């Protein structure tokens, strides 16, 4: 059974760096064809893909946020960490991590398992 859970601060100040941890079980992030994504959702708004880390440590970022994001993994701890620099009130959102399987040529196929999400508020 695959489970994921996000953890991190609920409140950050503008200009600070946000660090979120996704702790998962039920799969190995060293297995070929597997990846973990971070996705966010501002209150009342749509989902937005942020970052993705592949089993082989390759990484991809949303083009619009690439300069602010870093995604890493610790396979031994079954954790994926996302950092987002220079936080702004518009970054207030629920942040989700999700398990993903990849297509034959590395295409992101779907997000089949999601964490419960963690609400991060950016305010001074």
Partner 1 sequence: QSALTQPPSASGSPGQSVTISCTGTSSDVGGYNYVSWYQQHPGKAPKLMIYEVTKRPSGVPDRFSGSKSGNTASLTVSGLQAEDEADYYCCSYGGSNNLGVFGTGTKVTVL
Q: What is the CA radius of gyration of the chain?
A: 14
Least distance to partner 1, CB of residue 74, Å: 21
Least distance to partner 1, CB of residue 97, Å: 10
Residue 78, Ramachandran bin (φ over 0: left; ψ between -120 and 50: alpha; else beta) = left
> β-strands 48-54, 69-74: how paired?
unpaired
- The DSSP bridge partners found for residue 19 are 83
Instruction: List interacting residues with partner 1 (CB under 8 A).
Output: 37, 39, 46-49, 52, 60, 62-64, 96, 103, 106-112, 114-117
Least distance to partner 1, CB of residue 29, Å: 16
* Residue (3 or 79) nearer to partner 1, CB: 3
């Amino acid at each position: 059974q695959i489970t994921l859970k996000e953890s991190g601060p609920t409140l950050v100040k503008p200009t600070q760096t946000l660090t979120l941890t996704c702790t998962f079980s039920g799969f190995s992030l060293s297995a070929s064809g597997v990846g973990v994504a971070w996705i966010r959702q501002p209150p009342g708004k749509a989902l937005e893909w942020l970052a993705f880390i592949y089993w082989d440590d390759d990484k991809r970022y949303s083009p619009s946020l690439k300069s602010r994001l870093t995604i890493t993994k610790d396979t031994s701890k079954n954790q994926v960490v996302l950092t987002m620099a220079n936080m702004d009130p518009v970054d207030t959102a629920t942040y989700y991590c999700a398990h993903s399987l990849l297509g034959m040529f590395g295409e992101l196929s779907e997000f089949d398992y999601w964490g419960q999400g963690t609400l991060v508020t950016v305010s001074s």
